[in-house]
Amino acid sequence: MTTTTGTDWGAWQESWDRQQEWYMPDREERFRVMLDMVEALVGPEPRVLDLACGTGTITARLLDRFPGATSTGVDLDPALLTIARGTFEGDDRVSFVTADLKDPQWPSLLPYDSYDAVLTATALHWLHSEPLAALYGSIAELVRVGGVFMNADHMIDETTPRINAADRAQRHARMDQAKASGAVDWAEWWQLAAQDPVLAAPTARRFEIYGEHAEGDTPSADWHARVLREQGFGEARTVWRSPSDALVLAVR
């Protein structure tokens, strides 16, 4: 979609997807499983909270598969939110909220008191374990009874160092090959955003907030499942995984 600003939001979404897929070639597979589980547990017309939504990646796939769904995207990144708002402008199924998930009051900014599903992907690893556990408690209060939370992210099993090292070496070899063929990495993507007339100012603000890249923890999938149960979910376990990432599903 191109707006009166002359910005092609579809092109920005596409370039973000390609950049993310450079790091995670199985990215679409985790989204497919995520939406499979949404449909299985809460049906095809869910009210969804797209947590740390970025450009609205999950929301786009959600509405493509479930046209009767509604989505609230919440994030703090002004540049990615600019792309998200531009992409979904005029779609009354979608709203966006600017909020810091480390602020305990962030749920008060949402348009709804409860959600059928809270979904997030490749975003919460910028939080350390203690604030992440607190965030899980806040999420448990937002998910209706019988509703779901899913987190797809880097979840490293530190008990298998040789397997981890082999996987890392293979992934980086593939990434090097893709880079040689012209793939754009994280830093290069942000350089392009900084050169865009519409995204330049939000990108500058983004780096004031986060710096180059926020770094948190990457605890194991078992840790996530255990903490989600401790924070109020009735069931939690891994429903998909790759050698380095996992999708953990919790049911309220």
pLDDT higher than threshold 80 for residue 162: yes
Phi and psi (nearest 5°) for 15? -70, -35
User: At 187, which amino acid appears?
Assistant: A
The model's confidence at residue 1, banded by pLDDT at 50, 70 and 90, is low
Q: Identify the helix (H) or strand (E) that includes residue 148.
A: strand 143-154
pTM for this entry: 0.95
CA–CA separation, 59 vs 65, rounded Å?
A: 10
Taking every pair of Cα atoms in the chain, the longest distance, rounded to a whole number of angstroms, is 53
Would the pLDDT of 215 be above 90?
no
Q: Which domains does the chain have, with CATH numbers?
A: 9-251 (3.40.50.150)
Contact predicate 90/96, CB 8 Å: no
Q: Tokens 């191109």 label which residue?
A: 2
Among 219, 51, 232, smallest CA distance to 150 is for 51
Nearest Cα to Cα of residue 205 among 85, 84, 79: 79
pLDDT band at 212 (very low <50, low <70, confident <90, very high): confident
Per-residue pLDDT, averaged over 32-56, amounts to 98
Question: What pLDDT sits at residue 8?
Answer: 94
How many other β-carbons are positioned within 10 Å of the β-carbon of residue 217?
A: 16
Of the candidate ranges 2-11, 128-137, 175-184, 213-222, the one whose mean pLDDT is the lowest: 2-11
pLDDT for the residue 214: 65
